[in-house]
Amino acid sequence: MSKQDRIRVLVADDQPHILEAVELLLSPQGMDVECVRSPQLLLEALGQCDYDVLLIDLNYTRDTTSGQEGLDLLSRIQEHDAQLPVIVMTAWGHIDLAVESIKRGARDFIQKPWENERLISLIRVHAELYKALRRARQLELENRLLRAEGMPEFIAGAPSMQPVLELIAQVGPSDANVLITGEHGTGKEIVARLLHAASPRARMPLVAVNAGGLPEGTFESEIFGHVKGAFTDARADRIGRFELANGGTLFLDEIANVPLRQQAKLLRVLETGELERVGSSQTRRVDVRVLCATNAQLQEEAKAGNFREDLLFRINTVEIHLPALRDRREDIPTLAMHFLNRNRARYRKQVAGFSSAAMQQLLQYPWPGNVRELEHTVERAVLLCRGDEVEPGNLAIAASRPLAQSFDNMSIDEVEALLIRKVLRRSNGNISQAAEALGLSRAALYRRIEKYGL
């Protein structure tokens, strides 16, 4: 039996001989048993490890028979995890106490001295049900929030991309934290996925989150999770991204946009592997590899006091810098054909390729939005193309026209997109400079970039 298949049981009783008897009974059955002697020690253990079943006494103080200590403990366990199965045991059992235990969230009730086969059977049944529920919950969250289907193709034939490929090959199989830098749209998330796929964690989740797109008010809840009642809209417990990535990889895109107050909490998790959900005092441990990405100059941001220097040291054990598309023009024809083939099948268009004039235009355009802009440009060209080849008119990238052109037939969105493209080109894709020139926050500019597919 693999370690992952073994049932983890946490037992709480104030009598050492009871704990010893339980351990002697369950260990040969392929179960990992941990024993504690008080409610407080049980709660501390819950904060440190995950268990499949709890087996708890209802009385812990000498000469106490009311069961109130155990009932209060049940309520605390429910606050920690309402789905975690608890079997209660007592030498003073009666039907009223059994009913009250079930009301407080216990899954079953057993009286001392127990029947060995029944206790083993109860633990197995409840553990398997809980594991199945936990797996289903994990899969649902992964499918809803996170995982892209399949690995993206990474096209990198230009000489300037060779150092990138070498670093991916070197650090991918490790657990090192990696900082991926480069302008907006250069493919930082694809590199993160390649690093994860090359690591021993490849079978575990890769959880991607745009840190720059999270409002400060919800950042902590999204990243660390929350418990029911932590704030007005917290109607149920929620697993944060760190816990969701446990055993796997967490990819934090736009790390430079994380507020300073939250940076300290990120640093603590990276240093200790410990976190608390919002509204909870229970400490949880996670095992996560962290990959970060940014197009900002974090060294400069740290000097300016906008980014913690100690956090920077933690996230960039290795830095991988992606060159802009204008610095790897050798890859433009291959990338363009890759996007054309994908969209030709998607939109059922009979487009064989690009005319020589169209390809020349692709090679000469500065691509302020980098690979992402090329992808959207080719998609639009395939949709607009009426012949066998994409022509320059289908590309709509002769946007080196002066901004003072006639806007009579353009919508407000088209004008705004044109302005943003011009400012991005002028700032060489630097989001901070472009946002400042446009009078927008970085987050607001990112939202518009996504909206217009720049």
The string of DSSP letters for 13-46 reads: -S-HHHHHHHHHHHGGGTEEEEEESSHHHHHHHH
Structure tokens at 111: 């009286």
CA pair distance 210, 162, nearest whole angstrom: 27
What pLDDT sits at residue 117?
A: 93
Residue 385 has pLDDT above 50, yes or no: yes
Taking residues 218-225, what's their average pLDDT? 85
pLDDT-wise least confident of 87-96, 111-120, 197-206: 87-96
What pLDDT sits at residue 288?
A: 93
Residue 83 has pLDDT above 70, yes or no: yes
Taking residues 221-234, what's their average pLDDT? 78
Q: Tell me the fold of 326-452.
A: Helicase, Ruva Protein; domain 3 (1.10.8)
pLDDT digits (tens, 9 = 90+) for 31-57: 999 999 999 999 988 878 889 999 998
User: What's this model's pTM, rounded to 2 decimal places?
Assistant: 0.59
Q: Which residue has the higher pLDDT, 65 or 204?
A: 204
Taking residues 217-234, what's their average pLDDT? 78
How much is the mean pLDDT over the chain?
A: 84
Q: Tell me the fold of 7-134.
A: Rossmann fold (3.40.50)
The beta strand positions in 118-188, using DSSP E, are: 178-181
CA pair distance 66, 55, nearest whole angstrom: 18
pLDDT digits (tens, 9 = 90+) for 325-354: 999 999 999 999 999 999 998 888 889 999
Structure tokens at 37: 């002697």
- Sequence spans of domains, the chain: 7-134, 159-323, 326-452
Q: Tell me the fold of 159-323.
A: Rossmann fold (3.40.50)
The DSSP code sequence of 121-140 is HHHHHHHHHHHHHHHHHHHH
Largest CA distance in the chain: 92
Task: Please check whether the two domains, 7-134 and 159-323, share a CATH topology.
Answer: yes
Contact 254, 244 (CB under 8 A): no
CA angle 37, 225, 182 (to 5 degrees): 130
Q: Tell me which DSSP letter residue 146 carries.
A: I
Q: Which residue has the higher pLDDT, 116 or 422?
A: 116
Residue 252 has pLDDT above 90, yes or no: yes
Residue 141 has pLDDT above 80, yes or no: no
The DSSP code sequence of 245-284 is TTTSEEEEETGGGS-HHHHHHHHHHHHHSEE--BT----E
Helix, strand or coil for residue 258?
coil
What pLDDT sits at residue 207?
A: 93
Using alpha carbons, select from 351, 332, 414, 340 the residue that is nearest to residue 378. 340
Taking residues 175-183, what's their average pLDDT? 94
The beta strand positions in 233-276, using DSSP E, are: 238-239, 249-253, 274-275
Most confident of 73-82, 187-196, 217-226: 187-196
- 48-71: b or e for each residue (b if 16 or more CB lie within 10 Å)? eeebbbbbbbbbbeeeeeebebbb
